[in-house]
Structure 1
Amino acid sequence: MDQTGIIAIAVFAGLVALWLIFYFIPVGLWFSALVSGVRISLLQLILMRWRKVPPSVIVSSMSESTKAGLSLDPNELEAHFLAGGNVPNVVHALVSAQKANIQLDFKMATAIDLAGRDVFEAVQMSVNPKVINTPPVAAVAKDGIQLIAKARVTVRANIKQLVGGAGEETVLARVGEGIVSSIGSAVSHKVVLENPDSISRVVLDKGLDAGTAFEILSIDIADIDVGKNIGAQLQMDQAQADKNIAQAKAEERRAMAVALEQENRAKAQDARAKVILAEAEVPLAMAEAFRNGNLGIMDYYKMKNVMADTAMREAISKPVDKK
């Protein structure tokens, strides 16, 4: 290998060594921290590399907090990063809270951040309240008229309740429940239409923000429409149900009457059959009477004459069909 190649390899090795030195020993970052007034040792920056913590994130956060007049411990910032927290977001929140005179310490901010909430957004919401639009809420007044209301809920973050406090869904559910209760207690839907602010007053008095991460500042009814006549519809449904019940009972009585008629017919047919059987035994009884001498020939003719006379009288009594 010639001398030029050896020099090139040496230069390349020197550059790699220099890059490794400046990577593991962030002299530039340490100097930047020193200029910003952040007291952090070069050894601590080197150890951050070994602990898989980006020193630039810690140094920039320390610089921001120091310029804002906050005193933060780099070890605590490093521990929060290793716990999966968002260190820059926490520092932004602390600085914003200090400027807005909101009581927020580092421990509370990191707890909110690790709980999965955006602590910086919460601080901003404390300064600039947020408006939440409720979905259409349908309720029925006492006169049976349905009203469909939409409300705008103005809330701000409650820093003390962000850890463990309920979210926006709970606030919307409670506001919807309050609207339904307020409209349902109204005597007439006209009263609600004339004074929609009565809904807001009733709902606000319920303290719906208890146990939530928000503080309700106001509830404004944005829109209210008249829906269906639920009372009349229920009465119609009840009348139809009564009609169906009455028809069912009438059909039951008719079926029982038909069954009774068929039973009577069967009994009548049975009686006629018995009469026919009895008439069939008459000749046999007469023959037996002749043989035993209990019936004479003159008695037989007298009976025949009576039967013929009866038949003649029945024929005379029947009306004659005129054609």
Structure 2
Amino acid sequence: MEELQSLGLIVAGIVLFFIIMYYVPIVLWISALVSGVRISLIQLVLMRIRKVPPTNIVRAMIEAHKAGLKDVKRDELEAHFLAGGHIEKVVHALVSAAKANIDLSFKMATAIDLAGRDVFQAVQMSVNPKVIDTPPVAAVAKDGIQLITKARVTVRANIKQLVGGAGEETILARVGEGIVSSIGSSTSHKAVLENPDSISKLVLQKGLDAGTAFEILSIDIADIDIGKNIGAVLQMDQAEADKNIAQARAEERRAMAVALEQEMKAKAQEARAKVIEAEAEVPKAMAEAFRNGNLGIMDYVKYRNIEADTAMRESIAKPQTPPSPKSDNK
């Protein structure tokens, strides 16, 4: 029993020792003290209680102290960590900015970090500019020839505009818009091919980096290809459309003429029916005249002779059709 009790005391002592060493990081306190960073052991214990990793805070303070940064304080580092920031990147950015003579305060660095941007990468881009390749931009000159252009935009991070400034997508969109405007104002595509630097000069004059997180240093035309003859294609499409319209109007007029012809045929049939109806009344009138004594037999005979003479004259007036070849052979 005594051996078990002693073994339990040893295990409890070891566990208690590790707990004390966790909440009281003496080694970390000694490391900070040796590096010249003044921080009390009680503050390290309170960091553990506040769920703040003291190792990250102490390392950040040592790095800032060695770099000569005096505006980096423990309370501000803790507050930035609790706000969801990255204290390592902030301190790295401050050290890099100080070495490159870039005006970057701790407040500005934390604001950039909390805005969702990589502040350390932004400082590096401010020192070493970044080259952005634009996608192919198609534009049409005044002579109707399409030009497909690729450009390379050299940008540098603008530290003061990183919070609330537009990103790379806006830069690419504005550069593409400037290229289209520059080519569209050219009288001929040959002039653009002869002087491609005129595009970059005109685009740079427009101040496309206003309101963005970058500063445009240069715009270089990497490649220009000739595309389609848009003017000819549009003229062909317009001619095809005009032809279709003319055909539709002609078809409309033809349909109206056919309808009018059918209407006239119907009117002719109606008139012919009225004539037949009137002719049918003639025998009735003659019979009525016979009964009333207004028409004699000799008058009727003369009427028939006149009809026969009229029929004979009509037959004589009609042209005779020539005999067919088959009848001649027979």
Alignment TM-score > 0.5, same fold: yes
- Residue 73 of structure 2 aligns with an amino acid whose one-letter code is D
Deviations 1:246-296 (A, max 9, x none): 100110111111111111111111111111111111100000111111111
Within-5 A mapping of 1:69-80: 69-71=68-70, 72-80=72-80
Deviation, structure 1 residue 48: 0.3
C-alpha distance in structure 2 between counterparts of 1:118 and 1:235, whole Å: 52
C-alpha distance in structure 2 between counterparts of 1:161 and 1:242, whole Å: 54
C-alpha distance in structure 2 between counterparts of 1:259 and 1:33, whole Å: 105
SS in 2 for 1:295: coil
Q: Does 1:33 align with 2:32?
A: yes
Partner residue in 1 for 2:308: 308
C-alpha distance in structure 2 between counterparts of 1:321 and 1:146, whole Å: 70
C-alpha distance in structure 2 between counterparts of 1:121 and 1:311, whole Å: 115
Q: Does 1:47 align with 2:46?
A: yes
Q: Does 1:8 align with 2:22?
A: no
Partner residue in 2 for 1:206: 206
Deviations 1:101-153 (A, max 9, x none): 00000000000000000000000000000000000000000000000000000
Structure 2: unaligned runs, 5 residues or longer? 324-330
SS in 2 for 1:183: helix
Could you state the TM-score of these two structures normalised by the residue count of structure 2? 0.97
Partner residue in 2 for 1:226: 226
Partner residue in 2 for 1:132: 132
Q: Does 1:24 align with 2:23?
A: yes
Within-5 A mapping of 1:246-265: 246-265=246-265
- Residue 319 of structure 1 aligns with an amino acid whose one-letter code is P
RMSD: 0.6
- Residue 59 of structure 1 aligns with an amino acid whose one-letter code is V
- Count, aligned residues: 322
SS in 1 for 2:203: helix
Deviation, structure 1 residue 4: 2.2
Partner residue in 1 for 2:294: 294
Partner residue in 1 for 2:241: 241
Partner residue in 2 for 1:119: 119
C-alpha distance in structure 1 between counterparts of 2:237 and 2:251, whole Å: 21
- Residue 32 of structure 1 aligns with an amino acid whose one-letter code is S
Deviations 1:3-43 (A, max 9, x none): 32222111111111111111111111000000010000100
C-alpha distance in structure 2 between counterparts of 1:146 and 1:317, whole Å: 75
Partner residue in 2 for 1:56: 55
SS in 2 for 1:149: strand
Structure 1: unaligned runs, 5 residues or longer? none
Deviation, structure 1 residue 322: 2.9
C-alpha distance in structure 2 between counterparts of 1:318 and 1:13, whole Å: 142
